[in-house]
Amino acid sequence: MQLAIVHDWLNQMGGAEAVLETLVEMFPRAPIYTSMYWRKGMPPRYQGWDIRTTWLDHAPGIHRHQQPYLALYPRAWSSLNLSKYDLILSNKSGFCHGVRKDSGVRKDSGVRKDSGVRKNSRSVRQNGQSKSALHVCYCLTPTRYVWNFDDYARSEGLGRLPCIALKPLVALMRRWDFAAAQRVDHFIAISHEIQTRIEKHYQRESVVIYPPVDLRRYRPQPQPGDYFLIVSRLIPYKRIDLAIQAFNRLGLPLVIAGSGRDQARLEKLAQPNIQFLGRVPEADLPDLMARCRAFVFPGYEDFGITPVEAQACGRPVIAFGAGGALDTVIDCQTGVLFRQQTVDSLIDGVQRFNSMRFDPQTARSNAERFSAEVFKQNLGNFLEEKFIEHQNTQHAPRST
């Protein structure tokens, strides 16, 4: 079986890249198709992979500043034909699910034509036989700045006039994104939050397979410290400002690990009981997590890997009770969920946390549901089942 992995872009590290690394472990011989690849900005080990880029990789400055080119991504992915593969596995948060999976060629006429936008289309023939790759999309999220543009623009600080100017373009991209989603054979969602969005925006069903979390480095410690902890990129939608305002009022020690464009503003907002560590080396994170009193997670996330890592260390999580946290944190057992994304609600969550006791082993056991081994088994079983079904459909005799 020939398999291709498709990934939106390779110019920064994040949750999507953690999934990609596990996919490469599962399918080490599979080529990786991506819109662009910044070799200097990605881990050196990636240079040993078979990475193949689109023509967008040559756009000036795209590796560091991709936003000006967002309107070109649909065209770049539509130009990529992967019909020579048996199975396409896209790891999508942007537009990479828009690759073409049908050969689009009738050999008897020699004329190329598009397969069209039809759900689960298998209409292309070659030598009298149906010819179509199976496309499974592992959906990290329906494209956020297309379907949630107002929230995205607000979090990024876009002004009124840029928003008005961009609305027609966003509408065009939304139509393309929906059409591309209809050509996918099967969707997998990373959480029940994303499953709901896939149904809402793409009108497609999906199954939930949680993303892989490498738990091997994380272990409970016998004596945790007294500080609360945040590990995050410091960007607006993470809502670190909410936690800072809450802990300013509580006067409790809060340690913030991470960096980002919002760092200067957040540091000005914080009182002396809040400490910024900047970017912490990966090797130091397990000990930092294992010794915190609780991990604080104030954002509205699609899934959220760091709360799982904290629980793997036996530490409880205080999280906003929406999005992926509903899948990963068990209220009053492995942490506390606060119900409104407000300062007062977070303060109430911390105060409830202070009145409760949590068992480190319960937190660890919950985290093990999200291990890389569980992901590999679940994804492997799903792909095998759907590929067999697809092969049977491809080779079934056609009625006349």
Over residues 269-289, the mean pLDDT reads 95
Cα(202)–Cα(351) distance, integer angstroms: 40
Cα(121)–Cα(183) distance, integer angstroms: 7
Sign of torsion, CA 370 373 374 380? positive
* Residues 296-355 pLDDT 10s: 999 999 999 999 999 999 999 999 999 999 999 999 999 999 999 999 999 999 999 999
* Residues 219-228 pLDDT 10s: 998 888 999 9
- Compute how many other C-beta atoms are within 10 angstroms of the C-beta atom of residue 69: 16
pLDDT of residue 222: 85
Q: Is the pLDDT of residue 124 over 60?
A: no
Specify whether the CB–CB gap between 309 and 213 falls below 8 A: yes
Domain with 154, as residue range(s), is 3-212+373-395
Is there a single domain that holds both residue 169 and residue 237? no
Is there a single domain that holds both residue 143 and residue 53? yes
Q: Per the domain annotation, does 218 fall within a domain?
A: no
Q: Per the domain annotation, does 63 fall within a domain?
A: yes
Is there a single domain that holds both residue 205 and residue 88? yes
What CATH number is attached to the domain comprising 105? Answer: 3.40.50
* Residues 218-271 pLDDT 10s: 999 888 899 999 999 898 889 999 999 999 999 999 999 999 889 999 999 999
Is there a single domain that holds both residue 269 and residue 382? no
Do strands 294-297 and 3-7 pair parallel, antiparallel, or not at all (unpaired)?
unpaired
Q: Is 253 helix (H, G, I), strand (E, B) or coil?
A: coil
Q: Per the domain annotation, does 217 fall within a domain?
A: no
Q: Virtual CA dihedral for 90, 96, 102, 105, nearest 10 degrees? A: -150
What's the predicted TM-score (pTM) here?
0.84
What CATH number is attached to the domain comprising 266? Answer: 3.40.50.2000
Q: Is the pLDDT of residue 213 over 60?
A: yes
How many domains does the chain fold into? 2
Q: Per the domain annotation, does 238 fall within a domain?
A: yes
Q: How far is CA 123 from CA 43, 82, 128, 241, in A?
A: 41, 16, 11, 52
Q: How confident is the model at residue 108 (pLDDT cuts 50, 70, 90)?
A: very low
Q: Per the domain annotation, does 305 fall within a domain?
A: yes
Is there a single domain that holds both residue 364 and residue 380? no
